[in-house]
Amino acid sequence: MSETVVRRSSTLSKSRKRAAFLSAVDTMADGVQNKMFAEIEDKYIQRFWSYVDIRGPDDCWLRKAGRQTRGYGHFWDGKRETSTHRASYRYTVKEPGKMHVLHTCDNPPCCNPKHLFLGTPVDNAIDCVSKGRANRAKGSAHRSAKLKEQDVIEIRRRYMFGESQGELALEFGIARPSISNIVHFRIWKHVPKERCFRRSRRPL
């Protein structure tokens, strides 16, 4: 497999790499590209991207070098050792701070910013068990879960009927980014859509 990866990545020309990169970051918040190119002079950021196998905008972009722990790549960013997906999020979107950076693609070494989203530590734990990476029960059976499956269904339904993420966060006592991850099916994926949007209730 590695032979194929190397061959394919080396045939991707610099301009196609750049096009794929731009197309991926293009879908993000305004100014992300500008930020990216303002900072590209930084030698660590340059070095970081030079080792990422940038492919199509929707493909997984794997880092080609560096130490790995449990599938996650590591990278020295000049100040500290950080995981590669976290570095990617920092360089293309924003500093994640105390938040965790999670994958929609469930591919730990992936650095495609389109496949990354922010979550709270609880989101991360739930995401981890629901993807089978920890030997624990799913969703509400996890000890740090504040929500029950029924709450998740209720949140998605009410969001669809127009309630804001902020209102729902207040009412259910969880962080607003968690509401966003729930309503966009980035976490609690094991609670199926049909159960959330069954037409049992109509909007007022």
Give the footprint of Zn ion on this chain (CB under 5 A). 60, 105, 107, 110, 112, 115
Among residues 108 and 146, whose Cβ is nearest to Zn ion? 108
Among residues 52 and 183, whose Cβ is nearest to Zn ion? 52
CB of 24 to Zn ion, least distance (A): 11
Among residues 111 and 126, whose Cβ is nearest to Zn ion? 111
CB of 31 to Zn ion, least distance (A): 23
Calculate the dihedral angle through the C-alpha atoms of 135, 141, 142, 144, rounding to the nearest 10 degrees.
Answer: -170
What phi and psi, each to the nearest 5 degrees, are found at residue 61?
-110, 110
Among residues 26 and 42, whose Cβ is nearest to Zn ion? 26
- CB-based contact 108:44 (threshold 8 Å): no
End-to-end CA distance of the chain: 55
CB of 115 to Zn ion, least distance (A): 4
Beta-bridged to residue 53, according to DSSP, are: 62
Taking alpha carbons only, the member of 90, 142, 85 closest to residue 108 is: 85
CB of 37 to Zn ion, least distance (A): 23
